[in-house]
Amino acid sequence: MCSTILWTQKGQPVIVGRNMDWTEQMGTKLYVFPRGAQREGLTDSNSLKWTSKYGSIGAVIWDCATADGLNEAGLSVRLLYLAEAEYGTREEDLPGLSISEWVQYYLDCFATVDEVVAATRSMQVRPVEIVHRGDSVDSPMHMCVSDASGDSAIIEILHGKPVIHHGAQYRVMTNSPVYDEQLVLMKQYQGLGGKKTLPGSAEAEDRFARGAYYLTTLPEQPASYQEAVAGVLSVMRNMATPLGYVDPVQPNVSPTQWQSVSDLTNKRYYFEFARLPNVVWIDMDKLDLSEGAPVLMFDLAEDLEAAGEVSGKFKPADSVAFQQAGTVVTWKAAA
């Protein structure tokens, strides 16, 4: 499931976009998390512990996991599906972190990709169980992290160890195969080093190639700030999968459920459901992220007429009950 891109141009804000693709709706809600929250990694032993240094806004799926978000330092974190992910056996000497909090841990604690990369090597992510069409899997995911300088990292967990591609050149990510192979496959296509025409299917490697190519076509100097944001969203829409298109075997070939765009320079977070024509956004400067401020939540699915800047629509809420590592996600889509 999912696609993500990073767009940087001199004199323009650093902007990332992502699609969330899945076979069904995920009950996604937007949460505001203030500074000062005390959390622990939800593993059975040697669980990672931290206090949030930065406030953030996050897209929470299944009421138990942050899948996407932006913090007040301009760090963007996106979690995507990777069938090849393999978490290995538990290494008790490393602090453990449930994958349900992987995004939130980075948003809470770090301002730069350099900081994220260093932290990733000193802890161990542990999966939760996801049931997809009757089959249970160890939440196979990988991570894309970007910061306000334009730096980027792709983080995969293969054979129990993090594999990290770190550098501003890593601007596109989808799903399978693993990232090293995606970079090779991309070079087959016109405009990316090869002779083949640009592919149009919903397969992850085809979405990867389209994202990489269409990033190169965006105007270097958009006519306005709005056009810069819309340009990134236009690439994400080109990488999206239409509603109703479901591969019965591959959950990473699924309809796009929602899209987000994060402006890492101006700290603005844009969001839309694929089933709705309206886009909402949040100016983080309008949020109270101070220690002691309440957790806030906004559910676009319950406010179908919402559009534009919606920071005033967030209401106090209980904090998210993140999923314990090793347990089964039981959230069910509404009929």
DSSP states along 101-153? GHHHHHHHH-SSHHHHHHHHTTSEEE--BEEETTEEE---EEEEEE-TTS-EE
- The pLDDT assigned to 309 comes to 98
Look at the chain and report how many structural domains it folds into. Answer: 1
Backbone torsions φ then ψ of 287, nearest 5 degrees: -100, 145
Residue position matching structure tokens 């939540």: 297
SS3 label, residue 58: strand
Tell me the Ramachandran region of residue 284: left when phi exceeds 0, alpha when psi lies from -120 to 50, beta otherwise. Answer: alpha
Omega of the bond prior to 177 within 30 degrees of 0, cis?
yes
SS3 content of the chain, % helix, strand, coil (to 5): 20, 30, 50
What integer pLDDT is reported at residue 306 of this predicted model? Answer: 97
Output the CA–CA distances (angstroms, integers) from residue 225 to 5, 60, 222, 311, in the order listed. 18, 27, 7, 20
Domain assignment present for 333: no
324 inside domain: no
| Structural domain contains residue 262 | yes
Q: Domain residues for 278?
A: 3-316
pTM for the predicted model, two decimal places: 0.96
CA–CA distance, 327 with 335 (Å, rounded to integer): 24
What pLDDT score was predicted for residue 244?
85
pLDDT of residue 335: 53
> Would 335 be classed as within a structural domain?
no
**Nearest CA among 69, 141, 61, 42 for reference residue 329:** 61
Q: 221: exposed, middle or buried (C-beta count within 10 Å: 0-12, 13-18, 19+)?
A: exposed
Largest CA distance in the chain: 57
Chain centroid to CA 103: how far? 8
Residue 86 gets which letter from DSSP? -
Is 50 part of any domain?
A: yes
> Is residue 17 a part of any domain in this protein?
yes
Burial 71-84 (b: 16+ CB within 10 A, else e): bbbbbbbbbbbbbb
Residue 6 contacts residue 16 (beta carbons within 8 Å): yes
Contacts of 8 (CB under 8 A, 6+ apart): 14, 15, 150, 168, 171
Residue 206 CA from chain centroid, whole number: 19
- Domain contains 238: yes
What CATH number should be reported for the domain holding residue 98? Answer: 3.60.60.10
Predicted pLDDT at 162: 97
pLDDT at 132: 75
Tokens of 283: 């100016």
Residue 329 lies in a domain: no
Consecutive 10-residue runs of the chain (335 residues): their mean pLDDT?
A: 93 97 94 98 97 98 98 98 96 97 98 98 96 83 98 97 98 97 97 96 96 96 97 97 81 87 98 96 98 98 96 97 96 71
For residue 203, the SS3 value is coil
